[in-house]
Amino acid sequence: MKTVYKLSPSDYWRIGELESWLSDMAAEGLFLKKLGRQFVKFEKADPKNMRYRVVVSISKEISAEQVDMYGDKGWDFVTSYGSFHAFSSPAELNAPELYTDPSEQSYSLKELDKQLVFNAAVIVFGLLLMIGMLASSLFLDGTPTLVMVEGIMVHQTLLAIYICYIAYASVQAAFSIRDLRKRLAEGIPIDHHSPWKKRHTFHRAITFLFTVVIGLSAIIPFVHLMKMDTKTLPEKDVNLPIVRLADVEREPKLERPKPTYLGDGVDWSNRYSFAWSLLAPVQYEADEHGLVRDKLWGDGSGEYSPSIHTQYYQLRFPDMAEHLITDLIKRYSFETNQGDFVEKKHPDLDLLIVREEKELKQVFATRGKEVMYVHYFGYADVNTVLDNVVEKMNKE
């Protein structure tokens, strides 16, 4: 016989819907063989009118005596999943119902009621812990957009969304089974022909959606690691969206000092890193240091050694740009008064914020999906730094 697997229409504790669905499947020639966590196994044969009943045992196992007793009534045991045990009977046999007293069936659901309440409590507690950890990671230094853009928390957030749905479904199950027990205790029997198609469509959509979510939450960290690397920044110009020290200084005697720290073959004083995240697929970060031997700092502290740091992001959504600028300012304000950051107008930029203090110049700029932050320490004019920022952003 041909084996067919189908996604269950809903949770098994929706007993009436499950029984109705199994009967409809038999009418299409698909007969129950095994219940699973999400999928149900059928065997294909000639269509037949079958009745199905699902018994929930107080203990997880159903006794052989109980199976024999139901068999004597015309109900054949088919399969079990956890505390759920499925029985079938041909419709023409007109076998008597397994439960003639709904209150008896209500009592049989007592342990399931306790288990669903316990499951809901555990999942909700775990969800609250996860939300607390996420919130501390996102808002600890007040830069949630930057944290998400850097890709550290995206997969954890996706996983938290999935856990939210699981918690919602668990709480709903706990309340629903209690409501079912109450109705049974009042003498209202389960509807063995409950409509299931609407819920089945919803269940399939949710299952597909969260399959994608779980897949992304598992894949994203690996993609992030695979696309992340750091290399020594060549002295000659490279076609990258970073501001070069030589272009800002315009000093013919500018040279690169000997490396002060080498690790993994990288000069970390003169390096560039590239990375990827779901919210910012293009990311660059660069550091560059220079030296002019015949020139001293104004305070006589030593030879003139300017430096520049660049961070560049190409975002997935342009609406994130302004929030990212705000977070970058918070991250790199160094206890500075926020009033020192001045917003300026520029025809080629959507947003421009500049801070200048003696040798230190900081430029924060956005254009469309692009965001750039440049930290320069040296004697060049801030407008020179700005011109280079605009030039690099216009190349992308």
pLDDT band at 336 (very low <50, low <70, confident <90, very high): low
Assess whether pLDDT exceeds 90 at residue 162.
Answer: no
**pLDDT for residue 4 is more than 90:** yes
The whole-number pLDDT of residue 224 equals 85
Q: 47-82: b or e for each residue (b if 16 or more CB lie within 10 Å)?
A: eeebbbbbbbbeeeebeeeebeebeeeebebbbbee
Dist. CA 305–CA 297, nearest whole Å: 8
Q: For residues 156-166, give the mean pLDDT.
A: 86
Cα torsion 106, 109, 115, 120 to 10°: value is -60
Residue given tokens 């342009």 in the structure block: 318
**Secondary structure element (H or E) that encloses residue 205, with its range:** helix 197-226
Q: Residue 154: its pLDDT value, please?
A: 79
Q: What is the mean pLDDT of residues 38-65?
A: 90
More confidently predicted of 104 and 49: 49
Question: Does residue 203 surpass a pLDDT of 90?
Answer: no
Please count the other Cβ atoms lying within 10 Å of the Cβ belonging to residue 190. Answer: 20
- Tell me, what's the pLDDT at 301? 85
Question: 88 has which bridge partners?
Answer: 52, 76
Which pLDDT value is given to residue 217?
79
> pLDDT tier at 335 (50, 70, 90 boundaries)?
low
Show the tokens assigned to 21: 């669905």
- pLDDT, tens only, 267-299: 999 999 999 998 999 999 999 999 999 899 988
The residue among 120, 128, 204 whose CA lies nearest residue 167 is 120
Q: Is the pLDDT of residue 317 over 90?
A: yes
Question: 142 is written with which tokens?
Answer: 């007040």
- Tell me: pLDDT of 395 over 80: no
Tell me: pLDDT of 42 over 70.
yes
* pLDDT value at residue 339: 63
- The pLDDT score that the predictor gives to residue 61 is 80
As a whole number, mean pLDDT of residues 9-27 equals: 92
pLDDT > 90 fraction of the chain, expressed in percent and rounded? 62
**CATH hierarchy code of domain 229-395:** 3.40.1000
Nearest alpha-carbon partner for 242 in 392, 32, 29: 392
Question: What would the pLDDT profile of 253-269 be if each residue is shown by its tens digit?
Answer: 999 998 888 888 899 99
Look at residue 249 and tell me whether its pLDDT is greater than 90. yes
| pLDDT at position 305 over 60 | yes
- The percentage of residues in the chain with a pLDDT greater than 70, rounded to a whole number, is 97
CA distance 270 to 287: 5
What is the average pLDDT across 111-116? 90
**pLDDT exceeds 60 at position 15:** yes
What's the rounded Cα separation, in Å, for the pair 367 and 324?
12
pLDDT at 297: 93
Q: Average pLDDT over the chain, rounded to whole?
A: 90
Which backbone phi and psi does 296 adopt, to 5 degrees?
Answer: -110, 155
Q: What is the domain partition of the chain in residue ranges?
A: 3-99, 110-188+196-226, 229-395
